[in-house]
Chain A
Amino acid sequence: MTGIFPRRRLAALLATTALLGATACGGGDAPGDGTVTLTVDVFGQFGYDALYKEYMASHPGVKIVERGTGSNLDEYSPKLTQWLAAGKGAGDVVAIEEGLLVEYKANPQNFVNLLDHGAADLRGNFLEWKWNQGLTADGKQLIGLGTDVGGIAMCYRKDLFAKAGLPTERDEVSKLWPTWQDYVAVGEQFTAKNTGASFLDGATNTFNTILLQTAGNTTGYSYYDTSDNLVVDSNPAVRQAYDTTMDIIDSGLSGKYGSWSEEWVAAFKQSKFATIACPSWMTGVIEGNAGEGAKGKWDIAQVPGNGGNWGGSFLAVPKQSKHQAEAIELAKFLTSAKGQIGAFNAKGTLPSSPQALDDPAITDSTNAYFSGAPVGKIFSAGAKSLKPVYMGPKNQAVRTEVENAVRTVDLGQRSPEQGWTDAVTNAKKAAAK
């Protein structure tokens, strides 16, 4: 059909386009008119849009471009790592999640030391532990300025609770479960009523919540102790969280939906579970997954046990940035009390600044989606008394192994004892990699 001539021409065309493509990649970013374009790399929802507009209005020479909004942390973090490793490609300001910060802190040469740029004066603007998390082990370099923290509550569906004959009012619901044992008992009552929904989404999120809470209240560390020894099998907090999670699974309360999977998202829409452990940033996730149809059906109660923190992020400036000074200014602005309040108003991320936490803009705020729950009060109450949990060098890899072991038990692939053995062996293997 095709003669030899067109094909040859096509090949030549392909070769030239490939060459052109290769040279085009090498182009620099020279705006020429004196404006500086700052790229901000984020994941999930940081709620900065309005803040950017404000900043650009007061800094005429600066243009801000944000990348990665709505992307999942699993996609974002490898990309950021590749950019840092390649010495090219990262934004001028990058968001770093707390669990991954340790890995980046281990190689601080990739980032600007914010202490060299007057950040030391900002210390009082952050909760003490949040500030300390951003420092390298020797305390000499500040990698990132804190954005939000993840105070934990328990989100629940009022309609399903009513169907099961349980109280629906948030204070009464909080009284149902002072401890996780009580939570299991309530779950058993709920399950007995056959509402067609499970009591909770899946075991892994709850496990992580219990672990961070228990570790915060007892040892102050989870998988690694503060000297970076792997203590999965010897830290009582880990075992305790594991055993409590096993009780939840044994009682048949779990819906077995894998966190962040398509099934999990679908289960929100189909009202397939009644409660979910709820760090402050989760409220935005629930709203997005359950959709407009479920507005007013959700509410927020206290988490069983005592407080806890899950997640929260930092803003850092990579050394490869060509506009470090401007980037640092922007990072300082976004993490200021004012910036944090703006982000909270946009996407519900709980501030890590004590001034912001005391601000009426936070304390008086309610969330219409969650039946007008006073989210500011609920989440900020625990935030200031939070005890941080130390995270070691391979925290993310180890956590992945342990959570997967929990999941195999949740799915009935492993017995609780086998699951624990797997968790310990695989965690050790991951830590050694």
Chain B
Amino acid sequence: MAVQLDARPPAAPAPRRSHPDRGHRLARLDTRFSPYLYIAPFFLLFAVFGLYPLGYTLWVSLHDWDLLGASPTFVGAQNYRQLMSDPDFWNSVVNTLGIFVLSTVPQLLLALWLANLLNRQLRGRTGWRMAVLVPNVTSTAAVAIVFGVLFGREFGMINWLLDLVGIDAIDWKANRLASWVAISTMVDWRWTGYNALIFLAAMQAIPRDLYESAAIDGAGRARQFWSITVPLLKPTIVFAVIISTIGGLQLFTEPRLFNSGTNAIRGGPLRESQTMTMYMFENAFAPHYNFGYGSAVAWLLFALIAIVAAINVLVLRRLGGGREGTR
């Protein structure tokens, strides 16, 4: 190294230094700012289609805003105050959370189990793996309509099956818990396979030798699953939980189409399965056209999603923390 440096011609530095220096500076600017430029389109689009509507919704929620009316009047936090004491709103919050828990918990457990099965040596493995995704590529509307018919009170197949084993017909649409179960089934039908594939991808990244040494130590399949697979899947599980939280709390199409007929947006005669997004729609559009009130619901939904997602992450971190210690 030193020899080479000494061997450098003395006159050369001045012109050569300035040229590569400019290039170097450009290169530095390039490496420093290009990444931002590359991701800029997303953020630009997000600003236009995400941030702006978000801010506008907040603005609208502070007004008494009739969708057709000429001049909205500023009312401050009145819509929010009114919402806090609106039993129909809280009913929709409870419905949303109820359906969310009833659908997400079994869905993720089932997906984990499915992924574990798919991760074994199976004949026609790719076929099976693709097959679990089929419900997900089916249109939500089609799924919701078919399930709506399956869960019919009088002509539904589920009630017919229940009748075979001597259980009385259930009015799935006019019974709160029953409607939650029916809608959760629909959600699980669509999303279990999707989550299973995500879990499967993560499982494949777990080194085989971990299982091999565990097997040598005498760990059975179940023990391997709970002590190796699940802890190593933690980041993926966190991801799946957050995505499910966002999707689950914004549930609209399934419950909306599950309730057919006039004013289905109410989610049943006593609002048995009206979710928050449905309540938002009912207020912002038909029959109330109270845009300000609907926007306030939208913001509280946003807040609720943030809170639930935070709780999820905390709980999972706590759970995972214990396991990390034992690893």
Q: Would you give 9 A-B contacts (Cβ < 8 Å), ordered by A?
A: A74-B262, A74-B265, A78-B286, A107-B70, A262-B261, A397-B288, A408-B270, A413-B270, A433-B290
Q: Which 5 A-B pairs have the closest CB atoms?
A: A261-B261, A78-B285, A15-B41, A397-B287, A107-B68
Restricting to A402-430, which residues have a CB under 8 Å from any CB of B?
Answer: 403-404, 407-408, 411, 413, 430
Are A82 and B266 interface neighbours, CB within 8 A? no
B-contacting residues, A266-303, CB 8 Å = 266-267, 270, 272
A264 to B173, CA, bound (A): 13
Q: Quick check: is A233 within 8 A (CB to CB) of the other chain?
A: no
Question: Is the CB–CB distance between A258 and B261 below 8 Å?
Answer: yes
Given A263-B154, A266-B152, does the pair A81, B67 have CB atoms closer than 8 Å?
yes
For B246-285 the 0/1 string (1 means CB < 8 A from A) is 0000000000000111111110011000000000010101
- Give chain B residues whose Cβ lies under 8 Å from the Cβ of A413: 174, 269-270
Contacts of A430 in B (CB 8 A): 287-288
Interface residue from A107, A263, A264, A433 paired with B69 (Cβ < 8 Å):
A107
| B48 vs chain A, min Cβ distance (A) | 8
How many chain B residues sit at the interface, stated as a range, is 35 or more
Question: Which of B68, B69, B171, B262 counts the most A-chain CB atoms under 10 A from its CB?
Answer: B262
Taking CB atoms, residues of chain B closer than 8 Å to A262 are 145, 148-149, 152, 260-261
Pair A411/B287 contact, Cβ less than 8 Å: no
**Which residues of B are found within 8 Å of A433, using beta-carbon distances?**
283, 288, 290, 293
Cβ of B289 under 8 Å from chain A: yes
Knowing A77-B286, A262-B152, A263-B154, say if A19 contacts B45 (CB, 8 Å): yes
Interface residue tally for chain A (C-beta within 8 Å): 43
Query: CA–CA, A110 to B70, complex, Å?
Result: 9
A225 close to chain B: CB less than 8 A: no
Residue B33 at the chain A interface, CB threshold 8 Å? no
Q: Is B153 an interface residue (CB 8 A)?
A: yes
Complex contacts, A50 vs chain B, CB 8 Å: none
Indicate whether B226 reaches chain A with its CB closer than 8 angstroms. Answer: no
Interface residue? B56 (CB, 8 A): no
Q: Quick one: given A15-B42, A403-B262, are A81 and B155 in contact (CB under 8 Å)?
A: no
Given contacts A74-B262, A258-B262, contact A82 B67 (CB under 8 A): yes
Chain A residues proximal to chain B, CB less than 8 Å: 11-12, 15, 18-19, 22, 74, 77-78, 81-82, 84-85, 103-104, 106-107, 109-110, 204, 258-264, 266-267, 270, 272, 394, 396-397, 400, 403-404, 407-408, 411, 413, 430, 433
Which residues from chain B sit less than 8 Å from chain A, CB to CB? 41-42, 45, 48, 66-70, 145, 148-149, 152-155, 171, 173-174, 259-266, 269-270, 281, 283, 285-291, 293
Q: A396–B41 contact, CB under 8 A?
A: no
Determine if B288 and A15 form an interchain contact, defined as CB atoms under 8 angstroms apart. Answer: no
Contact pick for A411, options B269, B288, B293, CB 8 Å? B269
Q: How far is the CA of A209 from the CA of B289 in the complex (A)?
A: 26
Decide if A110 touches B68 in the complex (CB within 8 Å): yes
Closest Cβ neighbor of B293 among chain A residues: A433
* Minimum CB distance partner of A73 in chain B: B262
When distances are taken between beta carbons in the complex, the residues of chain B under 8 Å from A204 are 262
A266 and B260: CB pair below 8 A?
Answer: no
CA distance A413 to B281 in the complex (A): 25
- B154 adjacent to A267 (CB under 8 Å): yes
Instruction: List 5 extra interface pairs beyond A258-B261, A259-B261, CB under 8 A.
Output: A103-B68, A266-B154, A403-B262, A403-B263, A433-B293
- How far is the CB of A98 from the nearest CB of chain B, in Å? 15
CA distance A266 to B287 in the complex (A): 27
Query: Which of B154, B173, B286 contacts A74 (CB under 8 A)?
Result: B286
Contact call B289/A103, Cβ cutoff below 8 A: yes
Closest chain-B Cβ to A13's Cβ sits at a distance in Å of: 11
Complex contacts, A82 vs chain B, CB 8 Å: 67, 285
Residues of chain A within 8 A (CB-CB) of B270 are: 404, 408, 413
Alpha-carbon distance between A109 and B70 when the two chains are bound, in angstroms:
8
CB proximity of A35 to chain B, nearest CB, Å: 32
Name which residue of chain B comes closest to A109, CB basis: B70
Bound: A258/B287 CA distance, A: 18
* Given known A-B contacts A81-B285, A82-B285, A264 and B261 have beta carbons under 8 A apart: yes
